[in-house]
Amino acid sequence: MYKKRGLLIVLSGPSGVGKGTVRKELFSQPNTNYEYSVSMTTRSPREGEVDGVDYFFKSREEFEALIEQDKLLEYAEYVGNYYGTPLDYVESTLEAGRDVFLEIEVIGAAQVRKLVPEGLFIFLAPPSLTALEKRLIGRGTETSEVIQSRVNKAREELEMMNLYDYVVENDEVQNACDRINAIVTAEHCRRERVEKRYIQML
């Protein structure tokens, strides 16, 4: 019997582009039925962040043990901290036929693309580099040196846009959410994703 597998949705883009803000808005909407895969990180929690909700906060030693055990779908070291995605949760949720939503860094997305090429890869882009810099300064959580390193990194990351299926500009958060939902709906109707069901029916 045909069993529909869930869709792995990867939202990525430069640091400071608003990935977390867009993801939170998507998941606050009543009609959203994606499963959010909480990432792991070794960075300290920001104010208001909750362990197991925003991230799984781990020590460097704990994180490196998981790397050794091949328990991460992807991971990257970014501005001195590790970020990664727990593998077991993602695989079991997809097998159960539910869509998994990942919000990850660009380096991590490139790793996932190699392991799960059938995933849906969406690049969240800033309206401009100036807008990105203003957003980072507005956070008030990083020094000017860290902000500059993130802006420089964002330039490199924008050049990796060719690894993605779709680009969504984050001009307004709600607009970005609407575009992402439209893309996911279209992908579920893609011929390659549905034809097995019809072949079996015939």
Name the binding residues for ATP. Answer: 13-20
CA atoms in the 13 A half-sphere facing the CB of 173: 12
Annotated binding site: 13-20
CA max distance for the chain: 62
Where do we find the tokens 């998941």?
27
Where do we find the tokens 């969240």?
124
For 10-31, b where at least 16 C-beta lie within 10 A, e where not — what string? Answer: bbbbbbbbbbeebbebbeeeee
DSSP-derived letter for residue 163 is G
The H or E element containing residue 168 is: strand 166-169
Task: Give the C-alpha distances (Å, rounded to integers) separating 201 from 52, 98, 163, 191.
Answer: 41, 22, 35, 15
Q: Is 186 exposed, middle or buried (0-12, 13-18, 19+ CB in 10 A)?
A: exposed
